[in-house]
Amino acid sequence: MRIGTIELGARPLFLAPMEDVSDPPFRLLCKRYGADMVFTEFISSGGLLHESEDAVKKLDIYDEERPVGIQIFGGELEQVREAARIVDRIGPDVIDINFGCPVRKVVCKDAGAGVLRDLKKMRALTEAVVEVATRPVTVKTRLGWDDRSIRILEVARMLEDCGVQALTVHARTRAQMYKGSARWEWLRRLKELGLSIPIIGNGDATTPEKVKQMFEETGVDAVMIGRGAIGNPWIFRDAKLYMETGELPPPPSWEERVRVVAEHLELKCQWLGERKGVLEMRRMYGGYFKGFPGASRLRQLLMHKETKAEVLEILLNFRPDDPEVQVTVPRTLQAVPVVLTARLPRPTRQKALAADKA
């Protein structure tokens, strides 16, 4: 499979753009464990034009995570056009347009999945981005607004005509939000259209078994993994092994999870600063330790810590088999093989802005 000139191999796996999840630290971890392509959190076009700190920060991408796509959303044509110019200068491998976000504050502005109610506007927004972009433009969308307005086959042909070079479809309607089952039969019908662009399937591919099943049942060119990767960057490695051998590897041990969580925390603190990094990391612990004895107790302990050192002390000394005993024999960072030497290089955004000023 390829997007433009980007060669991605057979049956590639993508990390979905997820708000508050798909930031540079997590994308780098997913890349290490086998993600073939990753996407940023979605970025408001209006926020970029107004130089919102949150929106601009999301432009940070790193050469180590390539190929990487920056995803934008918006309902105002000129804002989307100018935001695409900004993103294009940053230098992602693709620019992705979000036509699928179902949340009210987005759709009420005819952005995200809101544009599914107005296909003429969808075409205009897409053509504006394709016009200014010097790299491939891709789209992520849903089946339709609701069951009475599923027009994804028509949408796919229209987007191909606009010059989009790949289409990701979350196989639910906006009305479904994230409930019910994803309707993979529509992904199969999309492939049967014989389009010239790749179709990337998304929705309910939450385990290695389901990833393999989506490929086999629908014939999609790639699978995009969202919720299944939260707290589980290993899913990319495991899914690839399962597709190759039919066997599942053993789940990551407690020690491996601790090492990865410690590195995730370190990278978060480098990217955001220690205080914000520690606070934002709190939402990740539940996914990483789900299913282990004492996971709830560990999460409670970690939620009250405000420095990196305090969090690491808990992590390195906690015993899932005896969660009430927080520290038996004191352990230090030096005594545990935790990878804390990772360093985020200078992001592409800073390089691009520095070049603009020069």
Q: Which residues are catalytic?
A: 101
Is 246 known to sit in a ligand binding site?
A: no
Closest to 272 in 3D by CA, of 299, 308, 246: 308
Alpha helix (H) residue ranges in 13-59: 24-32, 45-49, 53-57
Residues 6 or more apart from 341 whose CB is under 8 A from it? none
Write out the two tokens for 317: 């000394």
Is 75 known to sit in a ligand binding site?
A: no
C-alpha to C-alpha distance for 112 and 175, rounded to whole angstroms: 13
C-alpha to C-alpha distance for 131 and 103, rounded to whole angstroms: 28
Distances (CA, A) of 207 to 59, 141, 183, 245, 313: 29, 22, 17, 15, 32
Exposure on the CB side of residue 54, measured as CA atoms within 13 A: 10
Alpha helix (H) residue ranges in 246-325: 254-272, 274-281, 285-289, 295-303, 308-317
C-alpha to C-alpha distance for 114 and 103, rounded to whole angstroms: 9
Q: Which amino acid is at 86?
A: I
| CA 344 from centroid of its chain's CA atoms | 18
Is 194 known to sit in a ligand binding site?
A: no
Is 71 known to sit in a ligand binding site?
A: yes
Give the Cα-Cα-Cα angle 150, 168, 63 (nearest 5 degrees): 160
Residues 6 or more apart from 280 whose CB is under 8 A from it? 20, 268, 272
Is 47 known to sit in a ligand binding site?
A: no
Binding-site residue set = 71, 140, 170, 226-227
Binding-site residue set for FMN = 71, 140, 170, 226-227
